[in-house]
Amino acid sequence: MEKTKNSYKKSGVNIDLANKFVKHIATLSKKNVKKKGDSINKGNIGAFGSVFDISKLKIKDPVIVSCTDGVGTKLDLANQFRKFDTIGIDLVAMSVNDLIVQGAKPLFFLDYIAVEKINLRKIKLILKGIVKGCKLSSCELIGGETAEMPGIYKNEKFDLAGFSVGIISKKKILNKNKVKKDNIILAIPSSGLHSNGFSLVRSLLKKNKIPKKLKSELLTPTKIYVEEILNLTKRNLINSAAHITGGGLVENLGRSIPSNLSLNIDLSKIKIKSIFKWLKNNNISDKEMLKTFNCGVGFCLIVNKKNVKKIKKYFSKNYKPYEIGFISNNKTKINIYNKIKW
């Protein structure tokens, strides 16, 4: 009797399942095309490369902006809570929120999903979030890669990475050189933790019990600010911006002003969400909180004072920008006033 031969499937890689997932993506792509009209990518899912037609974009002196990022260890909580339908929103958000810092309009997104073994239900739910994130960003999901890697990822662990490309006219690029003395710093609320600081969060969860009403907030998806910010850039209402991610409020804002000007931030004005108060109560210093978490501020704008009232009209009730500081020409680069009101 002939012994069963070795095969790729026996080693843990199921190409047939991967092909089924590609067909699922193609189905989603066709639905998207029907809504948006004809697309050069129609029928191209599964090809070796993804294409995007920029010939119809009426942008003078166009400049391409690109960003890539992942979701980090928030993925581990998605696994623990068996909730996979929103983590894809986080993935898209981490890239497109970086694109709009320079005023770029997101055009398309590609994803990379790495798993131990393909579980169709699980990766379809992940993809559902990615598709929703793209919809919220008004960009197209035009391709990606799903890698089955037994032995590298174990116990249902997985990883996500994303890549997005945007476009803007050269003259409209937001940069720190537009910032002037007496400009106002506006804080736009976050939806929660977004996708930063989860290694510390996970460490705390091993030792401390989190209230049930706060537990669900741990996986609240990252707010996507594309629509609001592009409305403002279209009307030339922003001088500079900052996406508040790793490094926190102060570090990220510091990247958005020229070297000859200074940040003046009143921490007592920050509107703190309950999830951050719970974290703070677990013996974390103010300095560590500000460096690790967004503390309730997901995005910042630096604007002319006369435009503040007009800017607020473009945001919904839960995400109304509010003043937390101003720009000066002090010798000290960063001036912090007052303490956060936990």
Using one digit for the tens of pLDDT, what is the confidence trace for 288-297? 999 999 999 9
Task: List, for residues 186-240, the tens digit of each pLDDT value.
Answer: 999 999 999 999 999 999 999 999 999 999 999 999 999 999 999 999 999 999 9
At residue 37, the pLDDT reads: 41
Closest by alpha carbon to 64, among 77, 49, 74, 54? 54
Is residue 300 within 8 Å of 187, Cβ to Cβ?
yes
Q: Which residues contact 63 (CB under 8 A, 6 or more apart)?
A: 104, 167, 168, 169, 170, 173
- Cα within 13 Å of Cα(4), Cβ side: 5
At residue 30, the pLDDT reads: 57
The CATH H-level (homologous superfamily) assignment of domain 15-171 is PurM-like, N-terminal domain (3.30.1330.10)
Is residue 186 within 8 Å of 324, Cβ to Cβ?
yes
Task: List, for residues 146-169, the tens digit of each pLDDT value.
Answer: 999 998 999 999 999 999 999 999
Closest by alpha carbon to 178, among 320, 61, 301? 301
Matching CATH topology for 15-171 and 176-337? no
CATH architecture of 176-337: Alpha-Beta Complex (3.90)
At residue 50, the pLDDT reads: 82
* CA distances (Å), origin 47, targets 22, 38, 116, 134, 224: 10, 18, 24, 20, 29
Residues of the chain with pLDDT under 70: 1-47
* CA distances (Å), origin 37, targets 157, 167, 276: 38, 21, 43
Neighbours of 243 (CB within 10 A): 23
Beta strands in the chain (DSSP E): 62-70, 105-115, 140-148, 158-169, 184-189, 240-243, 262-266, 297-303, 322-328, 334-337
Domain residues of the chain, as ranges?
A: 15-171, 176-337
At residue 23, the pLDDT reads: 67
Residues 104, 126: Cα–Cα separation, whole Å: 26
- Cα within 13 Å of Cα(177), Cβ side: 3
| Reported pTM | 0.90
At residue 35, the pLDDT reads: 47
Residues 150, 117: Cα–Cα separation, whole Å: 6
Closest by alpha carbon to 112, among 173, 64, 62, 158? 158
DSSP 211: P
